[in-house]
Amino acid sequence: MTLAKWKVGIVSCSGEEIPEGTISRIATRLVLEKLRPEETVTICLPLFLAGGEGERTFAKLFPTITVDGCEKGCAKIGTEKYSGKPFATVVVSDVLKKCPTLTLKSRDKLSAEEYEFAEKVAEEIAEKVDEALRRQNEQLRSEKH
Amino acid sequence: MSEKGKVVVVACAGMDKPLGSVASASVFEVVEKLRPQKSELVCIPPLLAGVSAQTELIKNLPIITVDGCAERCATKLIVKSGGKIRGRIFVPDSAKKHNLLPESASHLGPNGEKLAENIAEEIASMVDSLTQET
């Protein structure tokens, strides 16, 4: 029997109206492609909202981390509405408060400083991925005993 | 210019597909460079999550949707939100037409950038036609 490997679903807001949304998407891609490629998948938020059954089922069975650009929290609201409570949430505008000298301007191509900030957000997401997997493993171990 | 003379452009976020990234890049090109005075970018998830201040805009202005894959989420979600779609772009068709493909979702590469520019030009022409009608 082959057991499916636990994965964590990252749900990023589209966030095209504001620079924080662009940071959400780029930070999510950094996690998927560089930081935790084996442990994560992305869930396309518009598809999820439009009724994508695969996306919704995945988010019911596996832990999810929502990444929102602003306090509107569309990714979190959508995930809660159609699949369940996310394991963790990251809000870019909250992370930005830790960098008072940085002002985000780009919705399209990031400056070097903005990209560095996206990397910082990605690190926060990756930490939550590790925490979600640690929690899953602990749960599996306790179920075995 | 008043909101009345504007067109809303909506792209799928396309997080998991390279052509979705092309969709996003093309609408940024339109609202920031080609037709900043005549177009308005609206993000779709807030409309569905019920947290958008743009709901009225969607109901009152003509809309162009840009979809990155066959799921056509941008189009579906605008229809669900009660918007009037007056123009549609299907990026896979544009990719075939121009024979250009992006390298990946996070890095469009020269061909992907060129494809986004071509689509942006097409959207800009649609914006011009629609604003002349109003």
Q: Which tens digits make up the pLDDT trace of B36-67?
A: 999 999 988 888 777 667 778 888 899 999 99
b (16+ CB within 10 A) / e for B69-85 = bebbbbbbbbeebebee
Among A83, A93, A108, A101, CA closest to A17: A108
Contact A14 B43 (CB under 8 A): yes
CA distance to partner chain A, nearest, from residue B125 (Å): 21
Residue-level pLDDT at B16: 77
Query: What's this model's pTM, rounded to 2 decimal places?
Result: 0.89
CA distance to partner chain A, nearest, from residue B96 (Å): 23
ipTM of predicted assembly, 2 dp: 0.83
CA distance to partner chain B, nearest, from residue A112 (Å): 16
pLDDT digits (tens, 9 = 90+) for B72-130: 999 999 998 889 999 999 999 999 999 999 998 888 999 999 999 999 999 999 999 99
Q: Which residues are within 8 A (CB) of A13 and not within 5 positions of it... i.e. 6 or more apart?
A: A21, A24, A25, A45, A66, A67, A68, A69, A70, A74, A75, B13, B43, B45
Among A18, A12, A45, A47, CA closest to A31: A12
Cβ-based contacts under 8 A for chains A and B? 99
Among A130, B100, A2, CA closest to A138: A130
The pair of structure tokens assigned to A77 is: 């609201």
Distance CA B65, CA B62 (A): 10
Q: Which of A44, A50, A78 sits opposite B76 (nearest CB)?
A: A50
pLDDT digits (tens, 9 = 90+) for B19-40: 999 999 999 999 999 999 999 9
Among B85, B66, B75, CA closest to B26: B66
